Amino acid sequence: MMRTRRQPRGATALPVQASSQSSQVLMATLGAPVVGGALILAFLLALAGCSDSGDPTGAPPIEMTPTATYAADVQPIWDAHCTSCHGAVASAGMDLRSTAGTAMLVGVASATYGGSRVAPGSPSTSVLYLKLQGDASTGDRMPLGGAALSAGELEKVRLWIVGGALDN
Ligand code: HEC
């Protein structure tokens, strides 16, 4: 680009004028690319800023409401802590194996305490949730004789009930 402009002018009879002229032309021509380059640089910096915020796609962050599903989040807790008693043996007439699904929990009256085992949307009135917390109104804490569920496990059960206690 620069060479093809200079060479024809340098070939004229007035090399000095030609060169000062061509440097003016050069400045004028370079003006646009320099401004453009600055814009591109600013754009790239902005992009880099975006990826710093942890979203490489540059998409706006989406507000996520934490949820829990029965099959993926809750059933594994029952499998690990409950089915030894609430399985084939079915203490309190309650089977918590995956084959039973939510049929023995949601909207089913407690065998011993007032209210439902699980009241959709309402952990604080669900006998199951109260028993996991060791609430005085619902007898022994579950799992009976074992360590209490972790805060993370309890939260999954709570989120599942809050989300409507779906068979999902
Ligand atoms: C060692 C045996 C054992 C384990 C393990 C156990 N339970 Fe129980 N569960 C019982 C017995 C016995 C009862 C009946 C006495 C009572 O209500 O406390 C019962 C009752 C319950 C009830 C009350 C049912 C009703 O109709 O009132 C719920 C809810 C419950 N268990 C949930 C669980 C959950 C959830 C787990 C696992 C986190 C669990 N249990 C682990 C023995 C166990």
pLDDT top residue among 135 and 12:
135
Helix (H) or strand (E) holding 25: helix 15-52
The number of CA neighbours under 13 Å toward the Cβ of 163 is: 17
- pTM score: 0.71
Structural domain boundaries in the chain: 2-52, 70-162
CA–CA distance, 87 with 96 (Å, rounded to integer): 6
CA–CA distance, 18 with 102 (Å, rounded to integer): 89
Q: How far is the CA of 163 from the centre of ligand 1 (A)?
A: 23
DSSP codes, 64-121: ------IIIIIHHHHHHHTTTTSSSS-GGG---SGGGTTTTTBTPBPSSSSSBSB-TT
* Band of pLDDT at residue 50, cut at 50, 70 and 90: very low
Q: How far is the CA of 168 from the centre of ligand 1 (A)?
A: 22
Query: Averaged over 102-127, what is the pLDDT?
Result: 97
Which pLDDT value is given to residue 24?
Answer: 52
For tokens 């640089």, the residue is: 41
**Is-contact 142 85, C-beta < 8 A?**
no
Is 122 touching ligand 1 by the criterion CB < 6 Å? no
Nearest CA to ligand 1 atom 1: 144
Other CB atoms within 10 Å distance of the CB of residue 105: 24
CA–CA distance, 13 with 30 (Å, rounded to integer): 26
Is 112 touching ligand 1 by the criterion CB < 6 Å? yes
Mean pLDDT rounded to a whole number for the chain? 80
Residue 68 region by backbone torsions, left for phi larger than 0, else alpha for psi between -120 and 50, else beta: beta
Residue-wise pLDDT for 61-103, tens only, equals 888 888 999 999 999 999 999 999 999 999 999 999 999 999 9
CA–CA distance, 165 with 157 (Å, rounded to integer): 9
Which pLDDT value is given to residue 64?
Answer: 84
Instruction: Report percent pLDDT > 70 for the chain.
Output: 67
Query: Averaged over 93-120, what is the pLDDT?
Result: 97
Is 145 touching ligand 1 by the criterion CB < 6 Å? yes
Is 156 touching ligand 1 by the criterion CB < 6 Å? no
